[in-house]
């Protein structure tokens, strides 16, 4: 699929989630339906890789990955991009030995594949920002803050997973360093803090296999329509006709 082939919806065509809403979506998916984190992470990372390929056709990609679920999705994207012939390098927010759970599984897979992990990130055609997801608490600190600064200054196109790192997904505030994305691919439904933020860039929404019944359960709607594909683009009402 080419970039122009993505279906476009207006902001008001879908529901919007807060951080608390997204926590409940994940809980219902995992506890009530038995859809595992590794399944959702695979869906997120595969879609992110496809969007990067469709929009940029890059020769090289640097993935900046945090130790949580957002970083795990970035590591999945790294695997799919490498499988498609892209020169991929990965920089982690902390030592790989400090990773745990599903993100550690994804990091181990990449190491077994021989994908290069580098301490100092490289300038590339595309920088994938997968450092902090919807659970931002305070300003980015330490190496994470440094990697956010790198993403903003490296010169490549920045593609953020779920939200630009450092942006509060509920109210759009930026308590410290924040990634300024050219493209943000958010998951399941868009987050309220992305709606007016200048850091988001072009906004896309990707399916992570959330059944519509989940949105009914938490009282958020209308649900997204992925009838024409697993990714669609969102535009404000003012821009939707462009």
CB contact at 8 A, 222 and 15: yes
Is 0.85 topped by the overall pTM?
A: yes
Q: What is the pLDDT along the chain (242 residues), one digit of tens a residue?
A: 777 789 999 999 999 999 999 999 999 999 999 999 999 999 999 999 999 999 999 999 999 999 999 999 999 999 999 999 999 999 999 999 999 999 999 999 999 999 999 999 999 999 999 999 988 888 899 999 999 999 999 999 999 999 999 999 999 999 999 999 999 999 999 999 999 999 999 999 999 999 999 999 889 988 888 988 999 999 987 665 44
Q: Which domain holds residue 56?
A: 3-234
**87 located within any domain:** yes
CATH number of the domain within which 62 lies: 3.40.50.10260
Q: What's the domain count of the chain? A: 1
CB contact at 8 A, 140 and 175: no
pLDDT, residue 239, reads 66
**239 located within any domain:** no
Question: 56-69 as b/e, with b when 16 or more CB fall inside 10 Å?
Answer: bebeebbbbbbbbb
**124 located within any domain:** yes
Q: What six digits make up the tokens of 134?
A: 């919807």
**240 located within any domain:** no
Q: How far apart are CA 226 and CA 239, in angstroms?
A: 21
Q: Where are the alpha helices (DSSP H) in the chain?
A: 19-27, 37-56, 69-83, 101-113, 142-153, 212-218
Q: What six digits make up the tokens of 45?
A: 């990372």
C-alpha 235: how far from its chain's center?
18
**28 located within any domain:** yes
pLDDT, residue 242, reads 46
pLDDT 10s digits, 138-164: 889 999 999 999 999 999 999 999 999
**10 located within any domain:** yes
CB contact at 8 A, 153 and 183: no
**241 located within any domain:** no
**173 located within any domain:** yes
């Amino acid at each position: 699929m080419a970039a122009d082939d993505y279906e476009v919806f207006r902001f008001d065509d879908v529901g919007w989630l807060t951080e608390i809403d997204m926590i409940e979506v994940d809980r219902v998916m995992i506890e009530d339906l038995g859809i595992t984190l590794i399944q959702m992470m695979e869906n997120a990372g595969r879609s992110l890789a496809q969007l990067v390929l469709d929009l940029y056709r890059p020769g090289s990609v640097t993935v900046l990955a945090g130790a949580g679920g957002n970083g795990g999705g970035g590591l999945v994207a790294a695997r799919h991009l490498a499988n498609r012939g892209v020169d991929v390098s990965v920089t982690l927010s902390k030592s790989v030995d400090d990773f745990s759970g599903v993100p550690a599984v994804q990091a181990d897979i990449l190491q077994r594949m021989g994908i290069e992990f580098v301490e100092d990130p490289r300038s590339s055609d595309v920088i994938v920002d997968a450092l902090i997801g919807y659970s931002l608490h305070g300003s980015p600190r330490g190496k994470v803050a440094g990697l956010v600064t790198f993403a903003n200054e490296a010169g490549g196109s920045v593609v953020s997973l779920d939200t630009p790192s450092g942006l509060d997904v509920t109210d759009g505030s930026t308590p410290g360093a924040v990634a300024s994305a050219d493209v943000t691919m958010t998951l399941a439904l868009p987050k309220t803090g992305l709606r007016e933020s200048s850091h988001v860039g072009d906004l896309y929404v990707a399916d992570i296999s959330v059944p519509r019944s989940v949105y009914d359960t938490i009282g958020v709607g209308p649900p997204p329509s992925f009838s024409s594909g697993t990714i669609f683009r969102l535009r404000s009402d003012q821009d939707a006709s462009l």
